[in-house]
Chain A
Amino acid sequence: MPRLSYRRALTRALGDELARDEAVFLLGEDVQVGASLVTTGLAKRFGTERVRDTPLSEQAFTSFATGAALAGLRPVIEFQIPSLLFLVFEQIVNHAHKFPLMTGGQCSVPVTYLVPGSGSRTGWAGQHSDHPYSLFAHVGVVTVVPATPADAYGLLVTAIRHDDPVVVFAPAGAMDVRDDVDDLAPVPLGRGRIHRFGDDVTVVAIGHLVHDALAVAEELADQVSVEVFDPRTLYPFDIDGLTESVGRTGRLVVFDDGNRSCGMAAEIIASVVERVRLLAPPRRVTRPDGAVLPFAPALDRAVQPGRDQLATAIHLTVKDGP
Chain B
Amino acid sequence: MTDADPVRLYRTVRLIRRFEERAVELVHGGQIVGGIHPYLGQEGIAAGVCAALDADDVLAGTHRGHGHVLARGADPARMLAELCGRVTGLNAGRGGSMHAADLSIGVLGANAIVGASGAIITGAVWAHRRQGRDTVGVSFFGDGAVNEGMLLEAFNLAALWRVPVLFVCENNGYATTMPVSGAVAGSIAGRAAAFGIPAVRVDGQDPETVRVAASAAVDRMRAGGGPELIEARTYRFDVHHTFEHVVRLDYRPPDEVTRGRARDPVRIQGERLPDTDRAAVDAEVESTLDAAVRFALTSPGPDPADALTYLYASGLTARTGGG
- B113 and A100 contact, CB distance less than 8 A: no
In the complex, residue of chain A having the shortest beta-carbon distance to the beta carbon of B165: A67
Residues of A within 8 A of B95 (CB): 102-104
Residues of B within 8 A of A236 (CB): 316
- A90 and B94 contact, CB distance less than 8 A: no
Known A-B contacts A63-B116, A163-B313; the reply to A101 vs B123 at CB < 8 A is no
Interface residue? B119 (CB, 8 A)? yes
Binary per-residue interface labels of chain B (127-161) against chain A in the complex, 1 for a CB within 8 Å, 0 otherwise: 11011000000000000000001100110110010
Interface footprint category on A: 35 or more
- A100 and B312 contact, CB distance less than 8 A: yes
- A66 and B93 contact, CB distance less than 8 A: no
- A60 and B154 contact, CB distance less than 8 A: yes
Within the complex, the shortest CB–CB distance from B91 to chain A, in Å, comes to 4
What is the total of A-B residue contacts with beta carbons within 8 Å?
149
- A142 and B120 contact, CB distance less than 8 A: no
Interface residue? A307 (CB, 8 A)? no
One of B125, B130, B156 near A57 (C-beta < 8 A): B156
The complex places the Cα of A160 from the Cα of B55 at a distance, in Å, of 30
- A63 and B120 contact, CB distance less than 8 A: yes
Which residues of chain A from 251 to 275 have a CB within 8 Å of any chain B CB?
none
The complex places the Cα of A54 from the Cα of B125 at a distance, in Å, of 17
Residues of B within 8 A of A81 (CB): none
- A108 and B314 contact, CB distance less than 8 A: yes
- A101 and B127 contact, CB distance less than 8 A: no
The complex places the Cα of A107 from the Cα of B318 at a distance, in Å, of 18
Interface residue? B48 (CB, 8 A)? no
Most buried by B among A55, A106, A236: A106
In the complex, residue of chain B having the shortest beta-carbon distance to the beta carbon of A189: B316
Within the complex, the shortest CB–CB distance from A164 to chain B, in Å, comes to 5
In the complex, residue of chain B having the shortest beta-carbon distance to the beta carbon of A166: B314
- Which stretch, A4-12, A69-77, A121-129, A210-218, touches the partner chain B? A69-77
- A67 and B311 contact, CB distance less than 8 A: no
- B313 and A64 contact, CB distance less than 8 A: no
Residues of B within 8 A of A110 (CB): 313
In the complex, residue of chain B having the shortest beta-carbon distance to the beta carbon of A57: B153
One of B94, B127, B156, B312 near A67 (C-beta < 8 A): B127
- A63 and B58 contact, CB distance less than 8 A: no
One of A55, A59, A62, A68 near B126 (C-beta < 8 A): A68
- B127 and A68 contact, CB distance less than 8 A: yes
- B157 and A67 contact, CB distance less than 8 A: no
The complex places the Cα of A189 from the Cα of B314 at a distance, in Å, of 11
In the complex, residue of chain A having the shortest beta-carbon distance to the beta carbon of B82: A104
- B130 and A49 contact, CB distance less than 8 A: yes
One of A59, A70, A102 near B91 (C-beta < 8 A): A102
Within the complex, the shortest CB–CB distance from B138 to chain A, in Å, comes to 13
The complex places the Cα of A195 from the Cα of B322 at a distance, in Å, of 33
One of B119, B131, B313 near A63 (C-beta < 8 A): B119
Which residues of chain B from 155 to 188 have a CB within 8 Å of any chain A CB?
156-157, 160
- A95 and B92 contact, CB distance less than 8 A: no
Within the complex, the shortest CB–CB distance from B152 to chain A, in Å, comes to 8
In the complex, residue of chain B having the shortest beta-carbon distance to the beta carbon of A103: B101
Known A-B contacts A55-B160, A102-B99; the reply to A60 vs B119 at CB < 8 A is yes
In the complex, residue of chain A having the shortest beta-carbon distance to the beta carbon of B93: A104
Residues of A within 8 A of B312 (CB): 100, 163-164
Interface residue? B90 (CB, 8 A)? yes
Which residues of chain A from 46 to 63 have a CB within 8 Å of any chain B CB?
49, 54-55, 57, 59-63
Within the complex, the shortest CB–CB distance from B125 to chain A, in Å, comes to 8
- B108 and A70 contact, CB distance less than 8 A: yes
Interface residue? A186 (CB, 8 A)? no
Residues of A within 8 A of B113 (CB): 90, 94-95
Q: Given A67-B120, A101-B310, output 17 extra A-B contacts at Cβ < 8 Å.
A: A54-B157, A55-B157, A59-B149, A60-B119, A61-B157, A63-B119, A63-B123, A63-B150, A63-B154, A70-B108, A90-B113, A100-B311, A104-B94, A106-B91, A142-B316, A163-B313, A164-B316
Instruction: Offer 11 A-B interface pairs, CB within 8 angstroms, sorted by A.
Output: A60-B153, A63-B119, A63-B123, A64-B122, A66-B120, A70-B108, A94-B113, A104-B89, A105-B94, A106-B102, A164-B314
